[in-house]
Amino acid sequence: MRISRFSTLMLGSALGVALPLSLAFAQATTPPPGTVPPGVTVPSAKPDPVVARVNGREEHLSDLENLAQNLPEQLRNMPPNMLYPILIDQIIDRDLLVQRARKEKLQNDPIVKREMDDAADMALQNALINRAVAPAITDQALQAAYQKEIAGKPGEEEVHARHILVPTEAAADNVIKELQGGADFAALAKKDSTDPAGANGGDLGWFKKSDMLPEFSDAAFALKPGQFTTKPVHTRYGWHVIQVIERRTAPPPTFAEARDQLRQKAIQDAVQKEIEEARKGAEIERFNLDGSPVRATDQAEPPGSPPAADGKAQ
């Protein structure tokens, strides 16, 4: 298989963009520099050997590894004799372009300087967040959170329900009258429901209260098995008639099932704690979009919001 210069540059474009903060959170457990990409043979016994020299600038194995860490898994699993030359070419191309840009004094361009400052700020922010997040998402920390928050506690209540969705309240009233007259719920769902579940008799399967819109869940969880709503339930999707088929208390999730949720919560908690620590003692001033100081009576408005008839923001 032949790797063209074009494909190398395309790969480089994917690697040269600063990571957004959300991606930095997700990669908080990325192995630190010094971990060789899968299948790559280190060409020297030195701890961090030089892999390229561009007009006197040396690039080391650790630089290669930093690029490899951000590759999609499919690319990281490429054969070493293909991956290694691509990464070295990427480093060389990057250095040549950066050196040419500096020779032409582009670093002094105000827009470029602003972007460079923003990139430096993002790198520092990510470094601080990663340092705070990493200890919170180890297997040991997540296991401890599981034992404290989930293990041994009763699971959430669930209902197995079905519904018929129609566009108007009057149509929902007609459905209820037909059900009260002995009509089959599944048959009516197939005939009248505008929801895709209608083709399956309106069956929504098992769900927890938090899985649905509050107005829908409140109505469903107020029903006993076999009961249906005698008043139409309105949500942003239309008007619903709901029937509960079964109820149960679900067993608590296993650690494997809860791991992703625990990890996400740990990340959010760690980030929030870091933000709160940063805010302590900080002197913060806010200004309106026109640069004037924010007053206690001011209300934030999006730019260009039209005033209401009385002159106040809508």
Q: What is the pTM of this model?
A: 0.54
Contacts of residue 89, defined as CB under 8 A and 6 or more positions apart, other chains included, come to: 5, 8
Domains within the chain, CATH numbers bracketed: 5-139 (no CATH), 157-249 (3.10.50.40)
pLDDT tens for the chain, 314 residues: list them: 333 333 333 344 443 333 332 333 333 333 444 444 455 444 444 589 999 999 999 999 888 888 888 888 888 888 877 888 889 999 999 999 999 999 999 999 999 999 999 999 999 999 999 999 999 999 999 999 999 999 888 888 999 999 999 999 999 999 999 999 999 999 999 999 999 999 999 999 999 999 999 999 999 999 999 999 999 999 999 999 999 999 999 888 899 999 999 999 999 999 999 999 999 999 988 898 888 988 877 665 554 444 443 333 33
- DSSP secondary structure code for residue 185 in this structure: H
Alpha helix ranges (H) inside the chain: 5-15, 21-26, 61-69, 73-76, 80-103, 110-133, 139-149, 169-180, 185-192, 214-220, 255-279
What the block records as the tokens of 119 is 């990139």
Contact 141, 263 (CB under 8 A): no
Residue that is written with structure tokens 């967040």 in the block: 129
Inter-axis angle of helices 80-103 and 61-69, nearest 10: 100
Helix (H), strand (E) at residue 233: strand 233-235
